[in-house]
Amino acid sequence: MKLLIALIVTLIMLTVFKNVETLAASLSYPYDNSGFEDRPPQGVFNTIVTAHNQELVMSRLRVYEIVPVKPSTVFTTDVPEIFVVFQLHQHGAEFRVYGRWFIEGQDGVSPNLLLGEDGMIITTEDQSGYVSMKRPTTGWPIGQYKVRMYIGTGEADRNPIGTLYFTVVPDKNTEASAGGTAK
């Protein structure tokens, strides 16, 4: 009798699991993160830009927000720090925003070399924020860069949400000392 009951329970469980697997296979995942490397960041961001600096200002709604100072996709080698400044859509939970800074392989530099990482905790009251990268001690190598953006609640659950690109060019002093003409 016990053997018969165990056999019936096993058959029921197999039938249920088979139906769940069939249902799961038929549902498509609506959020596709493939190819995020080439897309501008999306999702929680209303706007997101690279900039020379950031500033905390009082908005018309009497709340503080972080705004970009001199937004740009081209920076010179003498810039002390590069910022990614963003405005957020309304959100109901605390999370973190991370930026991972890479150089895209220039002469004498490994391709996709990770230069650094920065993160910011976003609370439910925050409407804006930033991450930044200080100039490396050896200076900014001239070339193409990218900042891969991630969100999550901690180190282990980061989700990629897009990439920003920018360029570093020689500053006027470097051009003049190299024999070029400064404009």
Give domain status of residue 182, yes or no.
Answer: no
Q: Can you give the CATH number for the domain in which 125 is found?
A: 2.60.40.2550
User: Whole-model pTM above 0.85?
Assistant: no
Tell me the residue length of the chain.
183
Cβ atoms 84, 41 nearer than 8 A: no
Domain range for 133: 37-172
Give domain status of residue 181, yes or no.
Answer: no
pLDDT tens for each residue of 69-119: 999 999 999 999 999 999 999 888 899 999 999 998 676 677 788 999 999
Please tell me the total count of domains within the chain: 1
Cβ atoms 116, 102 nearer than 8 A: no
pLDDT tens for each residue of 131-152: 999 999 888 989 999 999 999 8
Q: What is the rounded distance in angstroms from the CA atom of residue 155 to the CA atom of residue 174?
A: 39
